[in-house]
Structure 1
Amino acid sequence: MVGEWVTERLPENWRWIVTTRAAVGLALLVAMLSVVIGIINIETGGVSGPLAPHVPESVQDGAGFTGALTGFLMVGSALALRRGLRAGWWATLLLMPLTAAQGLLQASQYSYPLVVLSLVSMPTLLLTRRRFDRSLSLTTTQLAAGGALVGVQAYGTFGAYALADEFDGIETLLDAFYFTLITSSTVGYGDIGPETEMAIVFTMTVVVLGVASFGIAIGALVGPAIQARISKTLGIMTDSELELLENHVLVLGYGDLTEPIVNKLADADEQFLVVTRDETAASELTERDIRVLSGNPSDEGPLQRAKIESARTVLVATNNDAEDALAVLTARELRPDVRIVTAATDRENTAKLKRAGADDVISLAELGGHLLVRSALGSDESPVVSRLLETE
């Protein structure tokens, strides 16, 4: 049957993959619709439907740009969903009703699909709650940088509002925040300015602290993202990505024998990391979105960076038994209790790999010969041999 043939070739967790990707795809679609409809409403003049008489004028004026702003926030939350972050799930869950409400307030012919899609996406998001269980990991530096940025903005806003009589143009708390934002970011339109020496000194402190806080925040919050992109291009994993590894499969070395192992782990959606010193292989695997750590798998440093202490199992299967033995020996010294499985290309090396510390050693020559003889004599009715000999 065609249906059974397709099902057999699907990964075991295909339902998990489909529902997760559906939730992420719907979130991205809602985000794009919100941005597009918001821009359209900015050009057409805001609310223009049956609800228009009941919507306050201030809401009508801001319906367009707030819809676009919510859309951009949804893009960020959808990207967080794609990484499996629980914070992304909560952000999307809070923003989804907001996009639906904005669609109702805009009440134009363009906003109805946004309302319907937002309402349809919410049950899907709720049903996939358990799929997004990764915590957002921020370093102490990042938390401090974010706190400094918020603190400086609060200092400038409340300080400017307290000195409102000494400024030209500050009447409300919103005016004070506007002044702080454009001053600390060095935009400075000039529509609000200090009129006394006290206000001038205060403005100078806002400029100095604001520039410093923005610089630190960009370096701490945006810098790691840029580093991750550069590292991905070069086939290198960042320390922050390595910190997220836990209960993973560690594949040491890369060769012809490793390729089917990597493909099987990827199809099963297992969390795994390949450690190899082959730069060409590392680059190719990185292009396939497979985690790679460039380094010698028989050295302690790369294995420690690969978090062997939290690995579930170690697989070693290249075309070089000598290098595999060194990798097994190093892994066993660093982690005496981890399960290590390897393959021997030469039957005589099976015992040596066992002595190096491998729990299981598969002799490819013996296994292949055994299966071929059973198949030739017709004594093997299982589909194992046919699957092994299948070509794509």
Structure 2
Amino acid sequence: MLIFVFAVGVLGFRMISEMSWIDAVYMTVITVTTVGYGEVEPLGEIGRIFTVFLIIISVFVFAYAISVITEYILSRSTLRNIIQRKTLKKIRRMENHIIICGFGRNGREASEKLGAHDQEFVIIEKDRDVIERYENSDIPFVEGNASEDEVLEKAGIHQAKCLITALPSDADNLFVVLSARQINNKLLIISRASQESSYKKLKLAGADNVIMPDKIGGEHMASLVVVPDLVEFIDNLSISGKNTTNVEEIKIEDVTTSDEEITLKELDLRRETGCTVIGYKTPEGEYIINPEATLRLAKNSKIIVLGRPEQVELLKQKYDL
């Protein structure tokens, strides 16, 4: 619309007074913008009438353009505020959810795994471009710095069960761990680390687990050289997805209603479902690999089972997991 008015003005001044193209452009600019520097050449009665109409039209066109731009800016801001309010309202209803700090490579991978297991999670991200890129994907975002208590509280840290901090900077992860542990001392905190020297600091700050992606990746590549078949077999074991799960962690209370401690032989998951118990976690947190059939299963302990996807699915159906 603005280009059309400008073109009409240039052609009009050329036709009215036969001035040069440069003068016609100049006259159009000072007329449309109502600057009023003066006429390049004296205009006759027709030229003045044309100028009046050009000024009136340009005023309306500029007003319309400004209103459209303003409406666009306000509508985006309003929409963002509405989405944020809905997200915060949804978070307030969450319990035992997971908070992921940072939506980089590690944060996105963590969210995909949690989504595959139907786990509720909230993302804390300070980069607005990242939030706008994924805001239509039903991922709940909280915009802000994860090391600030107010932002963590918006993400529902008081009722959360776990926090994963996957920020690229070890110093930022350290601040997040300190803040989160101070607010909720029962929270399970998992932190990313890049440097070996950061491992102990993060543990001292309150992190329950510290993961070093670079170290894990290097060890995995070396293992592919030393024991390639074993690593390939382990890679084929899936712990995510509804139809591809091979390994499952189960609470003892979910598979037995007996008040007395029973043994693995009495539980007999192999005969009932085809799954094999390959690990046992005691109530104290100790792990037993390939436990004996005579092992008594204590309360608040867990078993780790291995099976084909259909066997694991049968296990879930039988015990309503």
TM-score range, shorter chain: 0.3 to 0.5
Q: Quick check: which has more Rg, 1 or 2?
A: 2
By percentage of residues, which structure has more strand? 2
By percentage of residues, which structure has more helix? 1
Q: Which TM-score applies when normalising by structure 2?
A: 0.46
Q: Which TM-score applies when normalising by structure 1?
A: 0.38
